[in-house]
């Protein structure tokens, strides 16, 4: 489990397709000493298991199932990604509960400056529309964000300068993909309402 508060902007150092489906080496400034093999790290919104590590990088295996449901198949050597180690008891809950289970790959429709911040407009698949509400939470590439407005087939988020600089959101161009996870609370409320009918 994660909070959507990115702790490092890492980089794909290696892509190996000769061992199973895909093995990635990810370069990071995170302190990996306390991270045991088998631990989870949220990699741009996708919960992945550390299977090997060096002093400044870790390796993850990515299955065909994960590749089919996320944007990880587009990653190449040099791709920057958002990183967050798993939550520990006693850690501050600064964002919202993020599980690293990607619900959809969505595209950036528009990015424009707005005051000192940036406004992103993101496509909203019909299947997820009922889970996204103004002032609710979503995770885009592992970043916890507050929804500003919801349209017929899109929604908007405002990115403050700190988040713009410290995550990969600032390098995204229209047409590029995000791993999107809806808020788990919204999922359970929707399910409860279905059962109650």
Please write the tens of the pLDDT for every residue from 100-113.
Answer: 999 999 999 999 99
d(CA 119, CA 113): 6
Q: What is the 3-state secondary structure (H, E, C) of 143-183?
A: EEEEEEEECCCEEEEEECHHHHHHCHHHHCCCCCEEEEEEC
**Which sequence spans correspond to the domains of the chain?**
8-85, 104-196
CA distance 195 to 189: 10
CATH topology of domain 104-196: Elongation Factor Tu (Ef-tu); domain 3 (2.40.30)
Domain 8-85 has CATH 2.40.30.20: yes
Tell me the pLDDT band of 89, cut-offs 50, 70 and 90.
low
Both tokens of residue 95?
């964002």
Q: What is the dihedral of CA 44, 50, 52, 56, to 10 degrees?
A: 50
Model pLDDT for residues 123-176, shown as the tens digit of each residue: 999 999 999 999 999 999 999 999 999 999 999 999 999 999 999 999 999 999
pLDDT higher for 196 or 168?
168
Rounded distance between C-alpha atoms, residue 94 and residue 89, angstroms: 14
Which pTM value belongs to this model?
0.92
């Amino acid at each position: 489990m994660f909070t959507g508060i990115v702790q490092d902007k890492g980089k794909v150092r290696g892509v190996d397709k000769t061992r199973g489906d895909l093995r990635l080496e990810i370069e990071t400034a995170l302190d990996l000493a306390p991270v045991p093999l088998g631990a989870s790290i949220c990699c741009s919104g996708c919960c992945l298991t550390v299977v090997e590590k060096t002093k400044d990088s870790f390796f993850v295996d990515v299955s065909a199932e994960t590749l089919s449901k996320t944007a990880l198949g587009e990653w190449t050597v040099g791709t920057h990604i958002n990183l967050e180690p798993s939550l520990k008891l006693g850690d501050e809950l600064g964002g919202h509960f993020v599980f690293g289970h990607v619900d959809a790959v969505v595209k950036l429709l528009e990015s424009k400056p707005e005051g000192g911040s940036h406004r992103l407009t993101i496509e909203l698949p019909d299947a997820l529309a009922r889970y996204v509400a103004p002032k609710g939470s979503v995770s885009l590439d592992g970043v916890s964000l507050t929804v500003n407005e919801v349209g017929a087939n899109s929604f908007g988020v405002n990115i403050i300068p700190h988040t713009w600089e410290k995550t990969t959101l600032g390098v995204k161009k229209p047409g590029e993909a995000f791993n999107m996870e809806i808020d788990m609370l919204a999922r359970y409320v929707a399910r409860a309402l279905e059962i109650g009918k």
